[in-house]
Amino acid sequence: MPALSPGTKAPTFRLTGLDKAAYVLTDTLRSEPAVVLAFFKVSCPVCQFTFPYLERLHRSYTNLPIWGISQDDTDATEGFCRMFGITFPTLLDQGYELSVSYDLTNVPSIFLVGRDLVIDRTIVGFDKAELEGLNQDLSELSGMPTKALFSAADEVPALKPG
């Protein structure tokens, strides 16, 4: 499934969040070691399944930014965030300009972008092993102990394609 692969330079951008703030990737990476970009569509069942786990990562590693990037309008995106308990910043990619620049054909698509603007990890769809790897990456980048992302009660599959 196409999406920019690890080792690729990440396209830079400036998007507006639901909070009306401007989010600029290059500005944030001046002070942060990495940013997680998680592209989604509110009607996507795999996004609905994945985003609560991204919220767990956000709560576990509060000193590293995770940004949701919605392909929907403000009202639909706000409803999604309320329904799935998403508290990390959510930006709007109306018109899909940023999604196109990241070569997206499926959502969710998740990228870990390092300070050098190089993509360190790409996850398309729900991939349990890749999300566990992202969890480990965020633990190392934050200097915090690794916290469990999944519990036995979650009963998550290994894969759910986007």
- Joined together, the tokens standing for residue 162 give 């986007």
Q: What's the pTM?
A: 0.96
Look at residue 162 and tell me whether its pLDDT is greater than 70.
no
pLDDT tens digit string along 14-42? 999 999 999 999 999 999 999 999 999 99
**Backbone torsions φ then ψ of 150, nearest 5 degrees:** -120, 145
Of the pLDDT bands very low, low, confident and very high (cuts 50, 70, 90), residue 145 is very high
Q: Going by C-beta distance under 8 Å and a sequence separation of 6 or more, which residues neighbour residue 34?
A: 64, 112, 113, 114, 115, 120, 137, 138, 141
pLDDT tens digit string along 64-83? 999 999 999 999 999 999 99
Q: Where are the beta strands (DSSP E) in the chain?
A: 14-16, 22-24, 34-40, 66-70, 90-92, 109-114, 119-124, 126-127, 159-160
Instruction: Kindly list the structural domains of the chain, giving each domain's residue range(s) and its CATH number in brackets, ordered by start.
Output: 14-142 (3.40.30.10)
**Backbone torsions φ then ψ of 69, nearest 5 degrees:** -125, 105
Check if the beta carbon of residue 83 is closer than 8 Å to that of residue 102: no
- Joined together, the tokens standing for residue 18 give 């639901």
Q: Going by C-beta distance under 8 Å and a sequence separation of 6 or more, which residues neighbour residue 50?
A: 38, 40, 108, 110, 126, 131, 160
| Interatomic CA distance for residues 147 and 152, integer angstroms | 14
Q: Going by C-beta distance under 8 Å and a sequence separation of 6 or more, which residues neighbour residue 104?
A: 2, 3, 39
| Interatomic CA distance for residues 89 and 79, integer angstroms | 14
Of the pLDDT bands very low, low, confident and very high (cuts 50, 70, 90), residue 161 is confident
Check if the beta carbon of residue 10 is closer than 8 Å to that of residue 84: no
Any idea which residue has 């870990």 for tokens? 112
pLDDT tens digit string along 103-136? 999 999 999 999 999 999 999 999 999 999 999 9
